[in-house]
Structure 1
Amino acid sequence: MDAGSPSYKGFRYPAEIIAHCVWLYHRFPLSFREVEELMLARGVIVSYETIRQWCAKLGPAYAAGLRRRKPRAGDKRHLDEVFVEINGERRYLWRAVDQDGNVLDVLVQSRRDDKAARRFMAKLMKKQCRVPRALVTDKLRSYGVAHRELMRSVEHRQSKYLNNRAENSHQPTRQRERAMKGFRSPASTQKFLSVFSAVSPHFRPRRHLLTAPDYRAEMTIRFTTWNKITGVPAAP
């Protein structure tokens, strides 16, 4: 078991089952009830409510473990925002990725104005502990205002054609949003996406750039990392 893995004291089920359920829920567009059904097919009787509690309690710990093992982020940041429907109201999901497509941060906010852009950039700077070499955004005016106030020394490129990296990173979230039939509250959306943005990309290497043997080798490495951060014993 890895030294930083979470404690399972007080849990009735073993770490293997708990980690597998959390993985299923965040890796695939499944509901808690569908994960319950998949586990039942494997002879494991666990309620969807228990799976929900596992995801809420241990999902953030797993995500934090994956982030600690990520290589240092690239020196170019791509920022983008899209609207999401949360309980029938429009909210905005702000996302930052580096030039390799690694998700650096996500933030759900009610607006996309100057204040929202400043808040997101400040949060990103605090989390990354350094400023990037370049910042790439679309032509939303709020980015320019926040850039001048917080990152004036950083090169700022504003073009909708240069920001495909950030725009493409929204696709898994859109897929999940459709599967969940929308999000329920800003707080739960923020919590879910913070975990989802760490777990889902970990199991999504650039498949189109890898041969079949290389892909299997890479996935073996990633599952080994997952087992370490979740505290699942290695297979004999």
Structure 2
Amino acid sequence: MGTGATVSYKGFRFPAEVISHAVWLYFRFPLAFREVEELLLARGIIVSHETVRQWCDRFGPEYAAALRRRRPRAGDKWHLDEVFIKVNGVRQYLWRAVDQDGHVLDILVQSRRDAKAAKRFMAKLMKKQCRVPRVLVTDKCRSYGPAHRELMRSVEHRSHRGLNNRAENSHQPTRQRERAMKYFRSPRSAQKFLAAFSQISPHFRPRRHMMTASAYRAEMTTRFALWDHITGVTALPTAS
């Protein structure tokens, strides 16, 4: 796992254990900042919901980036999809890419769903991954065609609604969170939250239906240990 976390808490009054726990609560469960404040109070930790907001805003993206760096190399089949979300009452589009294993590769909030928006998302995706996939899977949205021909002409493009369940399923946790939050305040805040959420939330959501109870517990123990590592928290000793 490396030599230790690089997250700096200099200037923050509370220790890493409290901050990372608050950030975990907010990104893992559909909670408001005031509800996280209440859960911390139940543990004897007195902190305002505005401070929780500042922690999530400051450390959420950093924790997410650390998790992303430790993920295995993405698969070679990329599924792209777009859904509308409400940002301060205005319709925006959330573009998302996942690989064949369901790992989120990238997301982008945009105001349009046209070919220019598709090209922008594909270019951002290619830049982050530093390569192109073997296969690109999309729904029947016509915006993907021109972007594919311009940016990924050598890549096989499969366009069929029934093939893209992997990307569509990846939107479900976002939909649940969107309902709990009521709305996003701005495209910028939506992009920042969803970029962190798309890395932190899946980290704590292994495919439980495919595991035995003991395998699930072992997997979650490993994932919490990694979380402790990247957030700079000393992991508790494993029970013998």
Q: Same fold (TM over 0.5)?
A: yes
Q: Report the secondary structure of 2:153's partner residue.
A: coil
Work out the CA distance in 2 between the residues paired with 1:208 and 1:89: 36
Equivalent residue, structure 2, for 1:87: 88
Alpha-carbon shift at residue 40 of structure 1 (Å): 0.5
AA of the residue aligned to 1:52: R
Aligned to 1:128: 129
Q: Percent identity?
A: 76
Amino acid at match of 2:149: R
Alpha-carbon distance in structure 2 between the residues aligned to 1:91 and 1:85? 6
> 1:93-140 deviations in whole A, cap 9, x for unaligned?
000000000000000000000100000000000000011000000011
Supply the distance in 2 between the matched residues of 1:234 and 1:102 (Cα, whole angstroms).
26
What is the rounded CA distance, in whole Å, between the counterparts of 1:38 and 1:21 in structure 2? 9
Structure 1 unaligned regions, length at least 5:
none
Amino acid at match of 1:54: W
**CA drift at 1:154:** 0.3
> Which residue is 1:110 aligned to?
111
The residue correspondences of 1:1-236 to structure 2 (distance < 5 A) are 2-236=3-237
Paired with 1:63 and 1:89, the residues of 2 have a C-alpha distance of 27
SS at match of 1:232: coil
Deviation at 1:182, TM superposition (A): 1.2
Amino acid at match of 1:213: S
SS at match of 1:85: strand
Cα distance in 2, alignment partners of residues 92 and 234 from structure 1: 39
State the alpha-carbon separation in 2 of the partners of residues 190 and 182 from structure 1. 13
Q: SS at the partner of 2:75?
A: coil
| SS at structure 1 position matched to 2:217 | helix
Q: Once the 2 structures are TM-superposed, how far is the Cα of residue 9 of structure 1 from its aligned partner?
A: 1.0
CA deviation string 1:10-34 (max 9, x = no partner): 1100100000000000000000000
Query: C-alpha distance in 1, partners of 2:6/2:47?
Result: 23
In structure 1, how many angstroms separate the alpha carbons of the residues matched to 2:176 and 2:207?
Answer: 18
Q: Which amino acid letter does the alignment assign opposite residue 16 of structure 2?
A: A
Q: Specify the SS of the correspondent of 2:94.
A: strand
Task: Give the CA deviation at 1:234.
Answer: 1.9
TM superposition outliers: structure 1 runs of 4+ over 2 Å = 1-5
- Structure 1 residue 5: deviation in Å? 2.6
SS in 2 for 1:161: helix
Q: Aligned AA for 2:184?
A: F
Amino acid at match of 1:25: Y
Change in 2 beyond 3 A, CA 1:34/1:215: same
Secondary structure, aligned partner of 1:93: strand
Q: Distance in 2 between matches of 1:43 and 1:20?
A: 14
Deviation for aligned residue 1:2: 4.7
Task: Give the TM-score of the pair, scaled to structure 2.
Answer: 0.97
SS at match of 1:78: strand
- Two-structure CA RMSD over aligned residues (Å): 0.9
SS of match in other structure, 1:118? helix
CA contact (8 A) 1:33 1:48 kept: yes
For 1:80 and 1:2, how far apart are their aligned partners in 2?
Answer: 37
What letter is aligned with 2:118? Answer: A
SS in 1 for 2:119: helix
Note closer, same or farther for the CA distance 1:108–1:177 as it changes in structure 2 (3 Å cut): same
